[in-house]
Amino acid sequence: MDSRPSLGSLFILLGLISLLVKCYSSSEDNMKTYIVYTGKIINDEASSLIIYQNMLNQVAESNSTSKSVLYHYKRSFSGFAAKLTVEEARRMAGLDGVVSVFPNEKRQLLTTRSWDFIGFPEYVEREYNEYDVIIGVIDSGIWPESESFDDKGYGPPPSKWKGICQSSDFTCNNKIIGARYYRNDYGEDFLKNNILSPRDTTGHGTHTASTAAGNPVSRTSMLGLGHGTTRGGASSARIAVYKVCWSDECQDVDILAAFDDAVIDGVDILSVSIGGKSDDSIHFMDAFSVGSFHAMKKGILTVLAAGNFGPKSSSLTNFSPWAISVAASTMDRKFVTKVKLGDNKIYEGTSLNTFDLQGELWPIIYAGDAPNKEAGFDKDSSRNCSANSLDIKLVKGKILLCEDRIGPSEAYRVGAVGVLVQGQKSLDTANSFPLPGCYLHSKDAAKVHKYIKSRRNPVATIFKTYESNDTLAPMAASFSSRGPNNATPEILKPDLTAPGVDILASWSPMSPISQFHGEKRKLEFNIVSGTSMSCPHVSGAAAYIKSFYPTWSPAAIRSALMTTAKQMSPEKNHDAEFAYGAGQVDPMKALNPGLVYDADEEEYIRFLCGQGLDMSMLLQITESIINCSERGYMIPRDLNYPSFAFKVQRPKHHLNASSKRTVTNVGLAMSTYRAFVTAPKGFNISVTPDLLSFTSLGEKQTFILTINGKMKKSIGSASLIWDNGKFQVRSPIVVFDERAVNGASLYRINYLYIVIFNLLFYITIIG
Ligand SMILES: *[C@@H]1O[C@H](CO)[C@@H](O)[C@H](O)[C@H]1NC(C)=O
Ligand SMILES: *[C@@H]1O[C@H](CO)[C@@H](O)[C@H](O)[C@H]1NC(C)=O
Ligand SMILES: *[C@@H]1O[C@H](CO)[C@@H](O)[C@H](O)[C@H]1NC(C)=O
Ligand SMILES: *[C@@H]1O[C@H](CO)[C@@H](O)[C@H](O)[C@H]1NC(C)=O
Ligand SMILES: *[C@@H]1O[C@H](CO)[C@@H](O)[C@H](O)[C@H]1NC(C)=O
Ligand SMILES: *[C@@H]1O[C@H](CO)[C@@H](O)[C@H](O)[C@H]1NC(C)=O
């Protein structure tokens, strides 16, 4: 017998092996979506697609699934997105004409008193031009039927508008003049929770768009709370919708595609309430930095949410120096929910409780005393009211005391009458629960627990929420991300702050008002919190400024907003300027800044050269071939920014540094400004020259600010004010050492509550 396999069977065997290898290894699991930047090499679309397909064929591993271009970036950047293996991505990066290849990252999404609180009444002087200003909102889409977006009284879109309405389930109107959506790929379940349309099924995008540019809608409230008129900052501006966030996530490839379109469509301001993780890229090469750079080149200001990762230091997610990063702060309205025990003691909690127990006392039980033993829970593991941890028989019909924020979902499952959640120290946001309830300060929760233990039949009731005056406002919100930023600590970020706590605005009635299980209430208006909510306040303010000064650069608009912002107290706000930047936005004052700190593309390129970026990184961000030795290298301290930040290397180290700035006269043709400067303890600050005389509008003058001394505490706050008797042009100055960076944050232990709330609330779509 011949023991050798026949040639035929060998082939079959080889075929089987290769088939197995194919089935096994070409699984989609090894593939990731990458963005491939090609720089400006190709012009016409058909030929560039052929070239891209060729590149994909060249790098494809033999066992890989066939490759195709998922996205073709062609309008303001050049490049494409495709699914590649790690090896293919490596090969791709080595091809001629490829600038860089980077993996797609997933991002997160980050309300009527607010405008009045910042001194911007409904009937302000408005430019007729405001109808010509278009705010692009990159978010989770929009609820077009909302009254906030009614187009009564609006003429046709401005002639510069080149966008489209990519919707099958609604038509755009003269208020929402464009709408697109982006999603490069999705699984089977995706369509169960999403509609392939710019329609917003989550509420987030509707909320942000209405805050930036919604029409005034009177007599709105969330089931009676926050009653008043809701309105956008630029209430007659147009809205262009770019939906990139879905029920699960927002992705870089989609965000980049949205920027690519928006810039060419003709938007004036971009409002982006989305963020990544705080430890993301420090090279300005994420979708937000690249997208906003291109926008800046075209004269479009991008307004970004700073992030919801505070109060931890260095927790910013967005800090590109060509965009604005907006922190969140409180306003003078807070929501208070009272709890009364059988002993007549009353505690004040926080929530948006619209359910009425009518003062009736119900039995109250501590979650630790009601473990679901059948499911393996005991006293310790049921305290937090995690999923399935409680015994229905013991809790049903009672008020429940939980030790964790996730409690309301489980409380609803087991049929509790109400829920009290032990909060941490920071109770600065009010949440909706699917049943009567509130957060209690941990020391109050401890007293409630003590009362429960001390009685045979403990009882309690929870009252409806009422509004009260928060006289401490504005304060930086605990969840708002703090600087200094990790990439360029000597550029102060966030830039400024705006109301972002308990904001009432339009909502998608397809989405429940809270993310807790059992929440069934679907409303057209909702109260939520986050830098996602503060960001569109600044977008609206920026659009307002733009309507008066259509030719101002993004940097000039930002400067006007920053130098006129309402000063906040470094003593009362932990992390001082790193929490609130230049202060709280004041749109009316920003109309008359007097002087502006302007900056153009060239300025940012020299800054990027100074950051040591190599040619390919520069090409990726700027889309131009940059020779840094010709352009020059700028240190961050000298970037023409409306704020100053100085880092002291070691706490005991003597700082002797200076910053150069140029101001442009936009106030009165003939005027003289004098410098008034304060210095933090331990420092001297001087300005030369300290007198600037202007004889015409648009005239520029340069000065040097010099600082000398030693740190007394980890953050020192001061300011420079140029004053001509009519305008005060204020720049914050902050000096800090590594203690401020490493975050000896007093609030750190208290920080989870807000963050998890945000995860619950906003990640699912953002926040
Ligand atoms: C293709 O095969 C190689 C070698 O067996 C393996 O390293 C690679 O991961 C495979 N590629 C895919 C897409 O599975
Ligand atoms: C309960 O919640 C606290 C605070 O969030 C957490 O530290 C603890 O680990 C949780 N305990 C259990 C058993 O999940
Ligand atoms: C809250 O109190 C301050 C100071 O007393 C007052 O100026 C403000 O108008 C009050 N706000 C509301 C909403 O009543
Ligand atoms: C950059 O410019 C310098 C000065 O003009 C020149 O010497 C150098 O060759 C240029 N570098 C590149 C890579 O073009
Ligand atoms: C600061 O540095 C400058 C130049 O490096 C020097 O002329 C000046 O004397 C220094 N000032 C102090 C107080 O050290
Ligand atoms: C600040 O300047 C004054 C007067 O020139 C000088 O006496 C003092 O030592 C300086 N302080 C610091 C911290 O450099």
pLDDT single digits (tens) 648-658: 988 788 999 99
CA-333 nearest atom, ligand 3: 13
User: Amino acid identity, residue 333?
Assistant: R
CA dist 38 and 623 (Å) reads 9
**What is the pLDDT, as a whole number, of residue 745?**
38
CA dist 153 and 175 (Å) reads 9
Cβ atoms of 596 and 561 closer than 8 Å:
no
Helix axes 204-213, 531-548, angle to 10 degrees: 30
**What is the pLDDT, as a whole number, of residue 107?**
73
**What is the pLDDT, as a whole number, of residue 70?**
86
C-alpha 37, offset from chain centre = 25
- pLDDT: which is higher, 142 or 281: 142
Closest ligand to residue 330's CA: 3
| pLDDT-based confidence at residue 474 (cuts at 50, 70, 90) | very high
Kindly give, in sequence order, each residue whose CB lies less than 8 Å from that of residue 13, ignoring residues fewer than 6 positions away: 5
237-258 average pLDDT score: 92
Helix axes 45-59, 86-94, angle to 10 degrees: 120
**What is the pLDDT, as a whole number, of residue 17?**
31
291-306 average pLDDT score: 96
Mutate to test the pocket of ligand 6, among 684, 707, 710 (most ligand atoms within 8 A of CB): 684
Helix axes 601-610, 615-622, angle to 10 degrees: 150
CA dist 737 and 157 (Å) reads 50
* pLDDT > 50? residue 728: yes
Q: Write out the two tokens for 296.
A: 């800046």
Active site residues: 139, 204, 532
Whose alpha carbon is nearest atom 3 of ligand 6? 684
**What is the pLDDT, as a whole number, of residue 41?**
53
Q: Is 360 close to ligand 4, i.e. is its CB under 6 Å away?
A: no
The alpha carbon of 225 and the centre of ligand 1 are apart by a number of angstroms equal to 58
Q: Which of 347, 342, 294, 286 is nearest to 317 (CA)?
A: 286
Sheet strands (E) in 51-195 = 71-73, 79-84, 100-103, 106-109, 134-139, 176-181
The alpha carbon of 602 and the centre of ligand 4 are apart by a number of angstroms equal to 17
| pLDDT-based confidence at residue 252 (cuts at 50, 70, 90) | confident
- Per residue in 1-54, pLDDT (tens digit) is 333 333 333 333 333 333 333 333 344 557 888 888 886 655 677 788 888 898
H/E segment holding residue 35? strand 32-37
Whose alpha carbon is nearest atom 8 of ligand 5? 656
Whose alpha carbon is nearest atom 5 of ligand 2? 404
158 phi/psi in degrees, rounded to 5: -55, 150
* pLDDT > 80? residue 678: yes
The alpha carbon of 630 and the centre of ligand 4 are apart by a number of angstroms equal to 7
* pLDDT > 70? residue 488: yes
Whose alpha carbon is nearest atom 6 of ligand 5? 656
The alpha carbon of 309 and the centre of ligand 1 are apart by a number of angstroms equal to 38
**What is the pLDDT, as a whole number, of residue 61?**
85
**What is the pLDDT, as a whole number, of residue 486?**
85
Q: Which of 88, 98, 101 is nearest to 60 (CA)?
A: 88
Q: Which of 367, 362, 395, 400 is nearest to 381 (CA)?
A: 367
The three-class DSSP label of residue 641 is coil
The three-class DSSP label of residue 101 is strand
- pLDDT: which is higher, 263 or 41: 263
645-670 average pLDDT score: 94
What pairing do the DSSP bridges indicate for beta strands 728-736 and 274-275? Answer: unpaired
CA dist 510 and 504 (Å) reads 17
**What is the pLDDT, as a whole number, of residue 28?**
53
* pLDDT > 80? residue 685: yes
* pLDDT > 90? residue 94: no
**What is the pLDDT, as a whole number, of residue 755?**
28
Q: Is 708 close to ligand 5, i.e. is its CB under 6 Å away?
A: yes
**What is the pLDDT, as a whole number, of residue 762?**
31
Q: Rg for the chain (alpha carbons), in Å?
A: 28
CA dist 236 and 544 (Å) reads 9
| pLDDT-based confidence at residue 428 (cuts at 50, 70, 90) | confident
What is the CB < 6 Å shell around ligand 1?
25-26, 30, 61, 63-64, 85
Mutate to test the pocket of ligand 2, among 366, 372, 384 (most ligand atoms within 8 A of CB): 384
Whole-number mean pLDDT of the chain? Answer: 87
- The 3-state DSSP composition of the chain as helix, strand, coil percent (nearest 5) reads 30, 25, 45
Q: What is the pTM of this model?
A: 0.88
- Per residue in 121-178, pLDDT (tens digit) is 777 777 778 889 999 999 999 999 999 999 999 999 999 999 999 988 999 999 999 9
